[in-house]
Structure 1
Amino acid sequence: MQNRIFLSSPHMSEEGYEKEYVKEAFDTNWIAPLGENVNKFEEELANKIGSKSAAALSSGTAAIHLALKAAGVETGDIVFCPTLTFSATANPIIYQNATPVFIDSNEETWNMCPEALEKAFIKYPKVKAVIVVHLYGLSADMDKITELCRKHNVPLIEDAAESLGTYYKGKHTGTFGDYGIFSFNGNKIITTSGGGMLVSNNIEKVAKARFWATQSRDLAKHYQHSELGFNYRMSNVVAGIGRGQLKVLNQRVEKKREIFSFYKEHLENLDGLEFMPSNEWDEPNYWLSSITLNGQVRPLDIMEALEKENIESRPVWKPMHMQPFFANYDCVLNGTSEKLFKNGVCLPSDTKMTSNDLIRVVNAIKKLWYQ
C-alpha cells in the first residue's frame, strides 16, 4: 500500500520556527496559562492582516462565541448564519440561547447569497447579528453583505476559519466585519494543534473578550467574578507554535494555490466536472480544492476510487438546515447549498503533497472517465 495522502494535515515549518518559540516557553517556564508568545502571536497576526487588535483563544468556536457575546446577542435574539458551513459556525448561536436563521449560498461564491440575506432582513427586521463564512478559502461577496448589514445597523461577524491568507479586493478576509475569527485547528492552513483568534478594530471589545475568556476575573486581590466567564484563553506553548506557523503562511498559501492549479490543469476537461468558482475580486487561499460533478461520475465514485488508492477526500459540508439538530430552525433557501452538498467533493489539498502525490490523485480520478 502506498503512503496515505491526507485531505489537509498539520505541516510544521521546515525551518523549525515553532520549536524555537516553544523552547522559549519551556526555558522561561511560561508553559501556561499565558506569556510572551500569546501576546506576540496576537500582535503579529493582527499586524499581518491589518487589524487593530486580536485575542488568542482556545478555538475558532470560542472566538465566534465571544464575538456573538460582544455583539450583544442574548436569549431569544435572531442571528443570520450561512447554511453551507461546518456546525462550529452555528453552535455558538445556541450557546447564547439565541435563534439561528440559515441563509443559502449562491453559485458565484459558494458563500452567503446577498439576495437571500436581503430577504431574511425583510422577514426578520430585528435580527441581532449576521455571521458570514468564507468557505474553503473563497471570499464571500463582502461589498454587498457589508452594505446590507450597515443599512440595517446589524453587527457583522466574519467566520474566516478557512480563509486566513485570502484577500477580497486586496484586503484580508476577517477584517471587513465588526469581528473576525480565525481557526488554527490541525487541518487549517496554519495550525497551533488547536486554537483560534478573535480580531477587531474595536480595541475595547477585544479587551472585554479577553476578560471573559479568562473566567471574567475582576481586578481584585481575591478571586472575584461579577460576570459569567469562560476558560477560552490560548496557552503560551500553543501560541509559540502559532508564531512559527505564521512565518510560513505565505508559503502555505502559495502551495495551496499550486495544488488547485494542478488539479484544474489536469481535470477541468473531464465531462461533468467543474471547479469551485473564481471571481476577479477574490484571491483565495484554496484551503481545500473542491469540485462539483454533474455527469455520470458521482461524488461517491470519486471518494471510493480515491480511498482504494489510500487517498483521503470529503464531501462538501452538509447544510445546517439538513442537520437533525438544526432541522426545526427557519431558513431562506434557493437550492444552492443542497445542490453543492449533493454534487460536491473536496480533493486532497495537503501542503506536504509531492508532484507524485498529485499525479496519483489525478490518475485515480481520470480512470473513472476512461475505464
Structure 2
Amino acid sequence: MNERIFMSAPDVGELEEKYVLQALRSGWIAPLGPDVDRFEQEMAARIGRRCAVALSSGTAALHLALLAHGVGPGDVVLTSTMTFAATANAISYTGAEPFFVDCLPESGNMDPLLLKEALRSLAMAGERIGAIVPVDLLGKTVDYSGIADIAAEFGIPLIADAAESLGAFHKGQAAGSWGETAIFSFNGNKIMTTSGGGMLLTDDEEVASRVRYLATQARQPVVHYEHTEVGFNYRMSNLLAALGRAQLVRLDEMIMRRRDHRQFYKQLFDGVPGVSIFGGDTDSHDNFWLTSILVEPEAAGFTANELCTALTGQNIESRPLWKPMHLQPIYRQARKAENGTAERLFETGLTLPSGSSMSTKSRDLIGETIAMFLQNYEHARRF
C-alpha cells in the first residue's frame, strides 16, 4: 500500500525548527511570552489591522468575538450553512441561535440576497439579531463589500470567519481585514499552522482588550486570583506562536505551491465532460487552500463518490465539500434561508489533496490514479 497522501498535511521544515528551538531555549515555555507578542504584531501588520490576539483555536477566537460584541441568549446570529461545525458551535456556546444562510453556486459562500431577505424577515418579527458571521469557503472570500453594506444597513456587527482564507483578498483588501472583527484558524490542515491555534483581528482596542481578558480566565488585575465573571483558557502558548511566526514568513511560498496544484488539477480535468474546478473561474484572489471539483454525473458518467472510492483505493485522501449545517442532525431543526445550492454542492463536490508539502511523487500518483479512473469510465461509456 502506498504511503498515505493527505489532503492538506502540515508543511514545516528547518525555519520552523529554528524558531521553536529559539523559543524553547529562551525559557518562555508556559503560555504567553515574547513570541506571542511578536506573532500578534506581525499578523496585524500583514493584514492591516490595529490589533491581533493569538488564541488556542479558531473556534475560541470566534467564540470570544461573539461575546465581545455582546452576543448571548435570545440573539439570532446569521451564518453560512456551507461551513465546518465549529462556526455554528461557537454561536451555540454563547446561547444564541444560529440561523443558516445558503450560498452562491460559483463560490459556496453566503448569498447576499438571501441574507438580506432573512434579515428583513427577522427584523419584521421583532427578533434580536446579534451578528452576521459569513464564512470564507476553501480559501475564497465572501462578497464582503456587499455583505458589509447589508450589515451597516441593519446596524448589525459583521464578524468574518476567515478561518480558511488567510492570504486571500477581496477587492484588494486582505481576508481578515473585513468586518468589525475577524478570525483565522491555524489548525494542522490550514494554509499555515501552529499545530492548533487561531487569531482574532480587530481595529477596536476595547474588543481586543476584552478578548484578552476573557481568554485568560477573566482574571482581575490584582496580586491574588480574583474573578468576577466566567472566563476561558483560550490563550496561545509561546512555543506555538514561535511556530506560527516561522509559518508566516513562508506563507506566500506555500500559497504559490497550492496555486500550482490548482493549475495541475485544471489541466488534468480539462475537457472532461461534466467536471469543473469549483470556483476555478474566479480564483485569482484565493489562497488556494483546497482545490475541489464538481462532478455532474449525467454528463460525466460517474459520481464524485465513485472517484473518491478510486482515490481511497490508492490511499489518497479526498472528501465531499462541507455537509451543510442545516442537514447536520444537531442543527436540523435550526431556521434557515435556503435555495438548494449548498445541498447540490455537497452531492457533487469532491475536495482533492492540495497541501503545500505534497511531493512531486505524490502528485504524480494522484494524476495517474485519476487518469486511469477517467480512462476506465470513458471505455465503459463507449461500450
Instruction: Give the TM-score category using the shorter length.
Output: over 0.9
TM-score, with length taken from structure 2? 0.94
CA distance in 2, matches of 1:90, 1:268: 36
Whole-Å separation in 2 of the counterparts to 1:281 and 1:194:
27
Q: Which runs of 5+ in 1 are unaligned?
A: none
Of the candidates 313, 322, 325, which is equivalent to residue 308 of structure 1? 313
Distance 2:265 2:28 in 1: 44
Partner Cα separation in structure 2 for residue 221 and residue 357 of structure 1: 55
User: What are the within-5 Å matches in structure 2 for residues 140-219 of structure 1?
Assistant: 140-219=142-221
Using the TM superposition, give the Cα deviation of residue 26 of structure 1 relative to its aligned residue in structure 2, in angstroms.
2.0
1:253 aligns with one of 252, 255, 264? 255
Partners of 2:69 and 2:26 lie apart in 1 by: 37
Please provide the CA RMSD for this pair.
Answer: 1.3
Distance in 1 (alpha carbons) for counterparts of 2:368 and 2:22: 45
State the Cα distance separating 1:278 from its structure 2 match.
4.4
Give the aligned partner of residue 52 of structure 1: 50
Q: What is the CA distance between 1:350 and its match in structure 2?
A: 1.6
Q: 1:224-239 to 2 correspondence within 5 Å?
A: 224-239=226-241
Deviations 1:285-333 (A, max 9, x none): 1111001100221111111111111211111110000000001110000
How far apart, in 1, do the equivalents of 2:284 and 2:144 lie? 10
**How far apart are the structure 1 equivalents of 2:26 and 2:6?**
36
Matches of 1:130 and 1:325 in 2, distance apart?
21
In the superposition, relative to structure 1, how do residues 281 and 257 fare at CA in structure 2: closer, same or farther (>3 Å)? closer
Q: CA deviation at 1:362?
A: 2.2
| Shift in Å, 1:23 | 2.0
* CA deviation string 1:74-117 (max 9, x = no partner): 11100001001000011011100100100000113210000110
**For residue 44 of structure 1, what is the amino acid of its counterpart?**
E
Compute the TM-score of the two structures, normalised by the length of structure 1. 0.97
User: Is the contact made by 1:37 and 1:236 (CA closer than 8 Å) also made in structure 2?
Assistant: yes
1:195-344 correspondence runs (5 A) = 195-278=197-280, 283-295=285-297, 296-344=301-349
DSSP 3-state at the match of 1:90: helix
Q: Following TM superposition, by how much is the alpha carbon of 1:281 offset from its aligned partner in structure 2, in angstroms? A: 8.5
Which amino acid in 2 is paired with 1:155?
P
- SS in structure 2 of the partner of residue 110 of structure 1: coil
Instruction: Tell me, yes or no, if structure 1 residue 98 matches structure 2 residue 62.
Output: no
- Percent identity (aligned): 43
- Residues 253, 343 of structure 1: CA spacing in aligned structure 2 closer, same or farther, 3 A cutoff? same
Deviations 1:238-271 (A, max 9, x none): 1111111111000111011110011001213111
In the other structure, the counterpart of 2:379 is none
Contact 1:163 1:287 in 2 (8 A): yes
Instruction: Return closer, same or farther for 1:59/1:133 CA change in 2, 3 Å cut-off.
Output: same
Distance 1:280 1:370 in 2: 29
Which has the higher mean CA deviation after the structures are superposed, 86-95 or 21-30? 21-30
For the 8 Å contact 1:109–1:141, the answer to whether it is kept is: no
Aligned-partner residue type, residue 229 of structure 1: G
Equivalent position SS for 1:30: coil
- Tell me, yes or no, if the aligned pair for 1:138 and 1:282 is still in contact at 8 Å: no
Note if contact 1:168-1:281 (Cα within 8 Å) is conserved in structure 2: no
Q: Work out the CA distance in 2 between the residues paired with 1:367 and 1:19.
A: 39
SS at match of 1:274: strand
SS of the equivalent of 1:181 reads strand
Give the Å deviation of 1:19.
Answer: 2.2
Alignment check: 8 A CA contact 1:297 1:369 kept: no
More helix, by proportion? 2
The amino acid of 1:294's aligned partner reads: E
Report what 2:34 is aligned to: 36
SS of the equivalent of 2:366 reads helix
**Residue type of the alignment partner of 1:6:** F
Q: How many residues align?
A: 369
Taking the aligned partners of 2:77 and 2:43, their CA distance within structure 1 comes to: 28
Paired residue secondary structure (2:142):
coil
Report SS of the residue matched to 2:82: coil
Contact 2:140 2:283 in 1 (8 A): no
Q: Which runs of 5+ in 2 are unaligned?
A: 377-383
